[in-house]
């Protein structure tokens, strides 16, 4: 589980549409082409600009 202040900060940077934390939605991201290895992520971020990527990484 991620710290709620981290999630809040990510929402401030990306907006509500740029942060996924609901289990049902996270399942989409639990594997890549190797479907035999699945891990549901704690959170997914969807930046839409270079500036957002920079802010998330910082």
CATH number at residue 19: 3.30.43.10
Res 5: pLDDT: 94
How remote is the C-alpha of 27 from its chain's centroid? Answer: 12
**Residue pLDDT, tens place only, 8-58:** 999 999 999 999 999 999 999 998 888 888 999 999 999 999 999 999 999
Res 33: pLDDT: 80
Res 1: pLDDT: 67
Query: Greatest CA span in the chain, whole angstroms?
Result: 35
Alpha-carbon dihedral of residues 9, 15, 18, 23, nearest 10 degrees? 70
Q: How much is the pTM?
A: 0.82
Segments forming the whole domain that contains residue 31? 4-57
How far, CA to CA in Å, does 53 sit from each of 11, 33, 42, 50?
A: 13, 24, 18, 5
Number of domains into which the chain is organized: 1
Res 2: pLDDT: 80
Between vectors from CA 1 to CA 51 and to CA 4, what angle results, nearest 5°?
55
Res 21: pLDDT: 94
């Amino acid at each position: 589980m991620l710290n709620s202040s981290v999630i809040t900060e990510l929402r401030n940077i990306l907006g509500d549409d740029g942060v996924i934390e609901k289990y049902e939605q996270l399942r989409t991201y639990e594997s890549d082409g190797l479907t035999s290895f699945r891990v549901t992520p704690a959170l997914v971020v969807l930046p839409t600009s270079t500036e957002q990527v920079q802010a998330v990484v910082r």
